[in-house]
Structure formats: structure tokens, C-alpha cells
A and B are shown apart, each in its own frame.
Chain A
């Protein structure tokens, strides 16, 4: 009976995953097709990848996407982490106000955030391009960093930093040697979120860019008017990068735990029997 139930549910789960992954897999397979057709797979070729790497426009978009993601991640991580640390010590009213404002970009639809920023940049006469895109991405990422770091800060013992300073640490030392190491998991989560949010963003970039500056998403959007295997090739590479990063991020803690467990077992086996029991 139990086996039957597992079989049925396994079948349904497989169908759902097919629905989620099939389109992506088909895109990937056809990026290696030698012809332009999306139905007949003629022969294996790297033609579209050559196209991709020889296109200056696409390569520039890749450069824009990566540099903006790195810069936005770095800046929003620093800004978000410092804010989260300060937040736990601020008066309650101010804290609630900041957290509520911080939630606005998370709950607001992307398109509303995007046009808000677009209007802002044009009303302060900031020329649209790389810099406005970077500012917008920092605005997009920081709230997510704060929401992933703040819970960790809140769980800290408030006396820790005081203790460090009583023992002669400067405030900066207390911050870098005591507080930061204890909230690092929250910071890592924030970094991962910020990077992928920025790297994947289309809506906000689309509205705040100008002067021919495009990131990968905008290039894809402009080229999808008809199917174009070069996009398949680009898509395959982007998806591979993201999936490999995610799997590594999930796998590393798992392997670490396994190793530690293994080590504990080893130590256990080295101990005299009576003590273990």
C-alpha cells in the first residue's frame, strides 16, 4: 500500500519537474544544433557559441551584467549589514519605521519600483546609463540583505560587544572580531540573494537604462522578437553558471557536515570503549 502511494506521488512529482525543466532542457539541446531550426536537430555544432563570443554587443552586455552584479552585491552587502547591526540598537519606533520602509521594494511589484526610479533619475537630471542601473540595483538588493542579516543580529547577545569593548577592543574591533563572525551566515545568504537578484534582473534595468547600455536580460528581450539560437547558447551558459553556483552553495555545507560527522566518528572510535558509553 505504501509503495503504491510512493509510486503515484513519484510519478506526479516527475511530471511537475518535467513541466518546470523541459523548456530549459530543450533550449540547451538546441543551442548545439547546427541549423537554425528549433525542431530538427541536424548535427552537433558549436556554431551558435562562436556567434555568441564574436558578438561585441552580447559580450558587452555580459560585462555589464557581471560588473553591475558584483558592484551592487558588494555595496548593498556592506550597506545592508551595517544597517542591520545598527538597527538592533535603535529606538523601537525608528526601527519599525525603517523595517517597514525596507519592506516596500520587496512587496511592491518590480514594475512600480522601476518606474519610480526612472522618474526619480530623470527629475534630478541624472543621465540614464551604467550609473543609474548600478544605483537601481543597489536599491533593489539592499532590502534583501537587511532582511537576511537582521534576524541574525537580533539573536545576538547584546552584551557581547560591550564585553569586547570592556576588555579593551575598539568599537571597530568589536564589530569585525565579535559581531561580524557571529552573523556571517546571514551575510552569506544576503550576498547570494543580492548577486542573483541583480544578475537576473530585467524589469528594473529595462526602465532605468539608457545610452545603449544593456545587460544580458535586455539583450535577450530585444532579440526574442524571433527565435534565435544565439540566445539559446547564451541562455545555456547563464543557466549553467546559476545552477552550478546554487548546487555548490547547497553542497558545501552538506559535505562539511559529512566530514565533521566522519571526524567525530573517528574520534569516537579512538576513545576507550567505557568512556563512549
Chain B
């Protein structure tokens, strides 16, 4: 069996070159100036200092506001959906879960493009509104459109982990809580919700991670001028060509996500110890 340990070697080399090295390069770019060629570089923290300019702080604030709103909506709508799904028989449940999963496998870009057809000024929603006698509403290139796109993209990522934790709950616990005098609301909050927290946390992490780093959805539904963190990074690399500043923003983005993940894990552990 010792023979098989050698099988790991190619991947070690591969992982160092294609996973670790790029990260080191991003960090190197973020703390230097001197163009994209790495010929005569100088170490500096200017790239990070630049991010405290109001323009960029506003981008970060907007990303957080929009991302957290999307996570909140997904949590609310997704929890109810996952909870309702558990009412059905096992066979129906697996069918419903398959239906939740399918959109995850379809390209985000195509699904976002589909929303353009619905939301544009002469799109399906406005036509319907006019038929009902309402004024048409401009929806494209607004926060509303971006939010719709984000929620429809992220909802499955919230529903799946919550449904998994809800399914694991032993049904006799509900009966026990009811027998001991808890009413339905108390049983839900103090038993069901509490026991589904691991799924909720997983869902929040996944949706937050995806919403904070997106750049396709705001670009397609928010228009070319719409700036979230992802768009800012794309701009620096594709249009402006300032890789140093772009790398600095990426380092901050990766750091935010790392912080969010460890924070959530900590919370999860503390909750676990309480019990």
C-alpha cells in the first residue's frame, strides 16, 4: 500500500504552481508599484491607502449593502421554502430538491441574461403591467434589477443546506416539546430553528461569498456604470490595466471572505458547545 503514497506527488507540484503561486503573485502585486511586468518593482502600501478614497469606500459599502440584502431575502424566502418542502413525502421531497438544484447547474450568465428579457423597458413584465392598465416601470439598470438577479442566483444555495439540516431533526423532539407544553411557535423557534442553525450558517456563508464577489450580475442587470467590488477588480485588470491596485482590492476581498467564514465557524462552534 506504500506504493500509493507516490500518487500524491504530481498534485503537490501542480497545487504549488497553480494554486499557491498565483496567490503569492497577487499579494506581491498588491504591495508593489512599477507596472505589470515585475521588472523594476518598489514596495509600497499606496495601493491599500488608495482604497480609503471615498469613491472606493462607496463601492465597498454598496457591495455590502446589496450583498447582505440579497442574503437576507434568500434566508427568509429560502428558509420558508426549505421548511415547506419537508411537509411532503420523501419521494416528492427528492423531486422538489432536484428542481431546486437544476438552476444551480445552469450558467449564471444565461440565467441573468434571461432576466434582461423579462425586466427590460419593453420586456415581458412591462407588457403585462400595461395590459393591466399600469404605467410601465424602468427596472433595468437599477438596484432592484441587480437584487432580483442576485436572489434568483443564490436562492438554491440557501435552500439546500437548510433543507439538509431540517431533514436531520428527529421528529420525536417536536412531539416531546409539544408534550412538555410548548406551543407551535415556541416549538419552532426553540427546537426546529435552533437545530437547523448549522444549515442556516452554511447557507449564509455560501450566499454571502457569492454575492460579495459577483461581477456578472451587476454588469448585465446594473449596466456598465454599476460598480461593485467584483466590477472594480475587473475594471482594474481589463480596462484600466492597473494590476497593482486590482490585486490590492482582491487581497481585501479574499480577506473579508476569510473573516466571514472563520466568524461563522466560531459562532457555530459556540452554539454547539452550549448544547
Q: Which residues of A contact B (CB under 8 A)?
A: 5-6, 9-10, 12-13, 16-17, 19-24, 26-27, 30, 37-39, 79-80, 82-83, 85-90, 94, 98, 101-102, 104-105, 107-113, 115-120, 122-123, 135, 139, 142, 146, 158, 161-162, 165, 171, 175, 196, 200, 202-203, 207, 216-217, 220-221, 224, 227, 231-232, 235, 238-239, 242-243, 246-247, 250
Contacts and interface: CB of A to CB of B under 8 A. Distances in A.
Kindly list the 10 A-B residue pairs having the minimum CB-CB distance in the complex, ordered from nearest: A116-B22, A86-B7, A109-B213, A23-B114, A9-B84, A86-B8, A83-B11, A27-B114, A171-B3, A82-B7
A79 B11 contact: yes
Given A27-B113, A86-B6, A90-B5, A39 B127 contact: yes
A3 to B, nearest CB: 11
Interface in B66-101: 77, 80-81, 84-85, 87-88, 96, 98-101
Nearest to A120: B22
Given A23-B115, A239-B110, 12 more contacts: A37-B122, A39-B123, A85-B7, A86-B6, A107-B209, A116-B250, A117-B18, A119-B25, A139-B14, A142-B11, A242-B106, A246-B102
B180 interface: no
B48 interface: no
A109 B232 CA distance: 14
Contacts of B10: 79, 82-83
Contacts, number: 219
Interface of B is mostly: helix
Nearest to B9: A86
A216 B109 CA distance: 10
B23 interface: yes
A175 B98 CA distance: 34
A109 B260 CA distance: 13
Interface of B: 1-12, 14-15, 17-23, 25-26, 29, 36, 38, 77, 80-81, 84-85, 87-88, 96, 98-103, 105-111, 113-118, 120, 122-124, 126-127, 152, 155-156, 209-210, 212-213, 215-216, 220, 230, 233-234, 237-238, 243, 246-247, 250, 253-254, 257, 261
Contacts of A39: 122-124, 126-127
